[in-house]
Amino acid sequence: MKLPFKTVALIGKYKTPEITEPLLRLAAFLSGKGVAVVVNSRTAENFSQHPYQEISLEEMGDKVDLAIVLGGDGTMLNIVRTLAPFGVPLVGVNQGRLGFLTDISLDTMQQTIGAMLEGKFVTEQRMLLSAQILRGDVEVFKSLAFNEVVLHRGNISSMIEFEVRIDGEYLYNQRADGLIVATPTGSTAYALSAGGPILHPSLDLIALVPVCPHTLSNRPIVVKSESLVEILPLRSSDVRIRCDSHSYFDLQENDKVVVTRYAQPACLLHPAGHSYYSMLREKLLWNKAL
C-alpha cells in the first residue's frame, strides 16, 4: 500500500444527483491537502462542471493509490469487484441504509478522511469468491463475488433441485428455493436473512446456506476457504446463478457451477478505533434495551 496517498479516486452512487454536493466538497478538501483527485466518469454524469480529471472505473486500477466510495453497501460491492484485483484500498462513506461496508458518516467525512490521510486507519483484508460455469469442459461464465454466489430459481414458483460437492466429495442433494455460497463479508447480507451464521470478516471461511430448504434436517455448513464447491442442478429449467446482485447467468442442462476463493483479497480501510463488534451492535440494534 502506498503512503501517503498521492492520487485518490472519488466514486459516487450512480444516477444519484444528491451525491454531487458532498463529493465535490470532499474533492475540494483533498485537493487542499495536496492530493491529486480523479472522479469516476459515470459519477461525473451528475455534475454540470468541475476541475477534476474523469476516468472510468476500469482505468483506475493502476492509476490511483486509494478509492473513496460515497454511497451504500450495494455501491461498494461493484467497486470492490472491479478494483480488488489491482490491490487498490477502499474507503466507504455511507449514504445508504445499513452501511456494513461504508462506515464513515457524511457528517464526519472530512475530519475522518483527513486523519486517514495521515496514516490513522485500520487495514482489513477480505476474501472474494470466484464463480464459473462449466458446460462440459468449456467455461461459459465467470465472475467475482464479494458477498455471495447464489443459485436460485428464475421466474417459476416451484423449488429447484441440485447436488453439492465439496472438494469432489458428495455432500447432499437439496430441494430448496436456492443456495447461497457466502464469504464472511456476505454473512451479514442475504445469508443472514436466510438464517446463516455471522462470520467475522478476518476468517478464511465459506458458508453454504440453503434458502427455504424442503427438509427440517438441513442446516447451513461452513467450510474452509480453500474448498472447491461444486453445484450441479438436477433440474435445470429456469435456474440462475447470481453474483452480488450484479452478474447473472441462466443455466442449461448439465451445466456445473464451480466456486472457489479468489486469489487477491480486497483491502478495506476503516477509521482508527474501528470495531467490527461495535458495528454489529449498532447495525443489528443489539444495543437496544429489550
Q: What residues are annotated to the active site?
A: 73
* Residue in 254, 250, 256 with CA at minimum distance from that of residue 231: 256
| DSSP string of 20-39, one letter each residue | HHHHHHHHHHHHHTT-EEEE
Question: What are the CA-CA distances from residue 80 to residues 66, 75, 157, 199, 212 (Å)?
Answer: 12, 9, 33, 19, 29
Please report where in the chains the cell 453454504 appears, as a residue.
Answer: 208
Residue 264 in grid coordinates: 487477491
User: Quick one: how far is CA 271 from the chain centroid?
Assistant: 19
Q: How far is CA 233 from CA 130, 153, 160, 210, 260, in A?
A: 19, 11, 8, 14, 18
Helix axes 109-117, 20-32, angle to 10 degrees: 40
